[in-house]
């Protein structure tokens, strides 16, 4: 049996979850199709999802097409929950991108397609809601070609658009225009095919064309476009046939070395941690002891495997399958089980750019609130829970107001903690501006620890994160600190990363290289704790010498406005600090593209209706961080901040 791990992706309200229901019904997994509006769908299992009619957490269901087992992952469509989508992308073999036949290509659609293209992920496009009033498939296909990718091929035609009787008819070998377009598209990507086709087009059969289409779709060179209605079922059979024919389902090596990726964490009824893992190689069995993360280990106590719509208890989970594992208490999202498939952590979407303080309405709930937020951070690490012990405040990172409302409702419904959020503020970052070094020698004032550490901080290219390097002899590293050099590197890197969560101005420091230049100890008095506690002092000393610049998030914008509002809109953009990069006339409208500080996006959204008579359409997405000109904004640091040596030593040693 071959397996295909398939993601369903879309802008919110494009009909993604309804399509999932229709696919499950067509496969015989469910007898009755659930409704998003009624809160009766298979994959929106959370009470909050049913109440709001949106997907918040990714969900897995399984069904069979011929000899292919499809593990289907339904993902959130709202941009506030893009982190859920990011985690799913790492485990997909292919995707179906759903686009509404009425609304067409939307902001999130563009973000998703750009990411799928960057990952070379095979994609089928499904234009949904052909039965809705206002459906215009030809316009949407033109928009897909103009705004997403020109490498598309419509796989059929629609009739009766905008009515419940709307139908979809797939193209066949007798459709001369379709075969000609298909041959032309394949020839654009395949020189050998082009040569054969030019030599004698009649020798290329329709079956050869379809096989070539499958090859090029699996290579992510071509994106076939299907149409239909998840509500009525029109076109869904053709999509199912396309999934089986055009996306890469493969036999996996169940006997190979264990390799899997954890893409979701949840808590069971008793509070136990459950890890969702996609297996790429090998087999995991109940009672197996597994290595994961950075040196962690645990024993699998139970396994469920997704089969025919639900997760069922099983003795093992094998390559190609998605399973749920119990017993791994220290497991985290993104951890690799067994052999890693990648040497670095990938982030496909922008990090959160907003932050807010979460305040319990009842002061006695502070302890429960921290525990609840810690569990939510397990399920979504980008919440980035941060505690300020001095001010007794808890900070969380956010994508937007909808996410804020969802967290607030989850805390109330699932944990019984009523909270309020203070006004959200923008999250900046810090980057080193030069090279700086610090060193503290054992036995020399003012070093109170039995360890020698020297660190150098240097700027690194944008978006490279934090890299740790060693310039010390391995023999100078105490044996009790590491079992192997890589373990030691990981331990030091964790301490460095924790320390750099707050830089000179209180923001997280990134895009830098930290090099260990000195390392010494005294036997037998030195302990690992000496190294752990001295590292922050040395690191912040080096950072002060290097200096940092505070950078604010910049968004990329696409603004479609009526032609006659161009004169008023451009000066308004300039007043908001936007930099216009391109402008082009498209029929009766202007398309403006450029960059704008994230802090000014909300103002632009408020002014846009008046500027454009309510006809302006704005799309924004994170682009990059840019140094701030003028005084740098600061963020309060938590207590025992190593920038304040006296307070830090009082906290960790109870003395100066």
Q: For the segment 223-252, what is each residue's pLDDT rounded down to a tens digit? A: 999 999 999 999 999 999 999 999 998 778
Q: Determine the pLDDT at residue 343.
A: 41
Per-residue model confidence as pLDDT tens digits over 148-196: 999 999 999 999 999 999 999 999 988 889 998 998 888 888 777 777 6
Reported confidence tier of residue 46, pLDDT bands at 50, 70, 90: low
CA-CA-CA-CA dihedral for 481, 487, 488, 492, to nearest 10: -110
Instruction: Please state which of the ranges 5-9, 259-263, 396-400 shows the lowest mean pLDDT.
Output: 396-400
Q: Are 489 and 472 in contact, with CB atoms under 8 Å apart?
A: no
Please tell me the distance from the alpha carbon of residue 30 to that of residue 587, in angstroms, as a whole number: 47
Calculate mean pLDDT across residues 466-495: 66
Query: What's the pTM?
Result: 0.75
Query: What is the distance between the alpha carbons of residues 429 and 445, in angstroms, rounded to a whole number?
Result: 33
Residue 523 has pLDDT above 80, yes or no: no
Of the two residues 338 and 41, the one the predictor is more confident about is: 338
pLDDT above 70 for 485: no
Nearest alpha carbon to residue 388 among 352, 420, 357: 357
Cis peptide upstream of residue 160 (ω within 30 degrees of 0): no
Element (H, E) at 17: helix 16-26
CA distances from 38 to 18, 49, 52, 308, 642 (A): 12, 11, 10, 24, 53
Sign of CA dihedral 530, 536, 542, 545: negative
pLDDT for residue 59 is more than 70: yes
Q: Which pLDDT band holds residue 656 (cuts at 50, 70, 90)? A: low
Summarised one tens digit per residue, pLDDT across range 2-22 is 889 999 999 888 888 889 889
Percent of all residues in the chain with a pLDDT value above 70, rounded to a whole number: 88
Residue 399 CA to residue 444 CA, distance in Å, equals 47
In the DSSP assignment, the letter for residue 571 is H
Q: How confident is the model at residue 478 (pLDDT cuts 50, 70, 90)?
A: low
- Checking if the pLDDT of 314 tops 70, the result is yes
Q: How far is CA 89 from CA 6, 99, 139, 463, in A?
A: 10, 18, 29, 19
Question: Which of 108, 107, 56 minimizes the C-alpha distance to 84?
Answer: 56
Quick: pLDDT tens for 612-624. Answer: 988 888 888 788 9
- The closest of 427, 432, 391, 622 to 507, measured between CA atoms, is 427
Highest mean pLDDT range out of 258-262, 398-402, 434-438, 531-535? 434-438
Pairing between β-strand 451-459 and β-strand 508-509 as defined by DSSP bridges: unpaired
Mean pLDDT of the chain: 85
When mean pLDDT is compared across 18-32, 468-482, 518-532, 580-594, the lowest value belongs to: 468-482
- Say yes or no to pLDDT of 353 above 90: no
pLDDT of 99 higher than 90:
yes
Angle, CA of 279, 281 and 285, to the nearest 5°? 65
Angle formed at CA 53 by CA 48 and CA 54, multiple of 5 degrees: 80
- For the chain, domains (ranges, CATH) are 2-246 (3.40.50.300), 259-338 (2.40.30.10), 354-427 (3.30.70.870), 550-627 (3.30.70.240)
């Amino acid at each position: 049996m071959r397996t295909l791990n398939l993601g369903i992706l879309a802008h919110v309200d494009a009909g993604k979850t309804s399509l999932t229901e229709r696919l499950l019904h067509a496969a015989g997994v469910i007898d009755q199709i659930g409704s998003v509006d009624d809160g009766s769908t298979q994959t929106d299992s959370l009470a909050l999802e049913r109440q709001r009619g949106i997907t918040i957490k990714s969900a897995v269901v399984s069904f069979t097409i011929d000899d292919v087992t499809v593990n289907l992952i339904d993902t959130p469509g709202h941009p506030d929950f893009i982190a859920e989508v990011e985690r799913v992308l790492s485990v997909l073999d292919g995707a179906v991108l759903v686009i509404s036949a009425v609304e067409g290509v939307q902001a999130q659609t563009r973000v998703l397609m750009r990411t799928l293209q960057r990952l070379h992920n095979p994609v089928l496009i499904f234009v949904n809601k052909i039965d809705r009033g206002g459906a215009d498939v030809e316009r949407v296909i033109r928009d897909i070609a103009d705004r997403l990718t020109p490498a598309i091929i419509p796989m059929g035609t629609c009739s009766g658009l905008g009515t419940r009787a709307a139908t979809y008819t797939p193209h066949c070998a007798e459709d001369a225009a379709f075969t000609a377009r298909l041959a032309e598209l394949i020839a654009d990507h395949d020189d050998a095919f082009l040569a054969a086709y030019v030599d004698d087009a009649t020798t290329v059969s329709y079956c050869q064309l379809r096989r070539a289409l499958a090859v090029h779709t699996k290579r992510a060179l071509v994106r076939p476009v299907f149409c239909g209605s998840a509500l009525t079922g029109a076109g869904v059979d053709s999509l199912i046939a396309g999934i089986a024919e055009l996306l890469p389902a493969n036999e996996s090596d169940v006997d190979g070395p264990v390799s899997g990726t954890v893409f979701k964490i949840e808590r069971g009824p008793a509070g136990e941690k459950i890890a969702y893992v996609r297996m790429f190689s090998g087999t995991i069995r109940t009672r197996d002891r597994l290595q994961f993360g950075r040196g962690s280990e645990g024993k699998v106590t139970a396994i469920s495997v997704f089969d025919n719509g639900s997760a069922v208890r099983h003795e093992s989970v094998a390559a190609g399958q998605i399973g749920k594992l119990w017993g791994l208490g220290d497991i985290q999202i993104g951890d690799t089980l067994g052999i890693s498939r990648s040497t670095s952590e990938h982030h496909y979407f922008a990090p959160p750019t907003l932050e807010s303080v979460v305040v319990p309405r009842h002061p006695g709930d502070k302890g429960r609130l921290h525990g609840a937020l810690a569990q939510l951070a397990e399920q979504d690490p980008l919440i980035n829970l941060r505690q300020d012990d001095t001010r007794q405040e808890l900070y969380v990172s956010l994508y937007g107001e909808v996410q804020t409302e969802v967290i607030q409702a989850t805390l109330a419904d699932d944990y019984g903690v009523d909270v309020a959020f203070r006004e959200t503020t923008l999250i900046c970052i810090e980057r080193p501006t030069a090279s700086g070094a610090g060193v503290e020698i054992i036995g020399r004032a003012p070093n109170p620890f039995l360890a020698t550490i020297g660190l150098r901080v240097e700027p690194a290219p944008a978006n490279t994160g934090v890299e740790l390097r060693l310039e010390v002899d391995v023999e100078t590293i105490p044996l009790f600190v590491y079992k192997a050099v890589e373990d030691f590197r990981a331990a030091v890197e964790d301490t460095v990363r924790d320390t750099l969560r707050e830089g000179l101005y209180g923001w997280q420091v990134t895009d830098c290289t930290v090099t260990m230049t000195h390392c010494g100890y005294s036997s037998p008095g030195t302990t690992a704790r000496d190294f752990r506690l001295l590292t922050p002092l040395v690191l912040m000393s080096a950072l002060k010498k290097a200096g940092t610049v505070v950078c604010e998030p910049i968004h990329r914008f696409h603004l479609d406005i009526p032609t006659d509002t161009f004169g008023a809109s451009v000066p308004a953009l300039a007043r908001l600090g936007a930099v216009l990069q391109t402008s082009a006339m498209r029929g009766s409208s202007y398309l403006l593209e450029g960059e704008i500080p994230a802090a000014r996006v909300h103002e632009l959204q408020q002014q846009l209706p008046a500027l454009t008579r309510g006809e302006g359409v704005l799309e924004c997405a994170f682009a990059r961080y840019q140094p701030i000109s003028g005084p740098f904004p600061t963020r309060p640091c938590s207590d025992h901040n190593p920038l304040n040596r006296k307070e830090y030593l009082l906290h960790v040693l109870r003395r100066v």
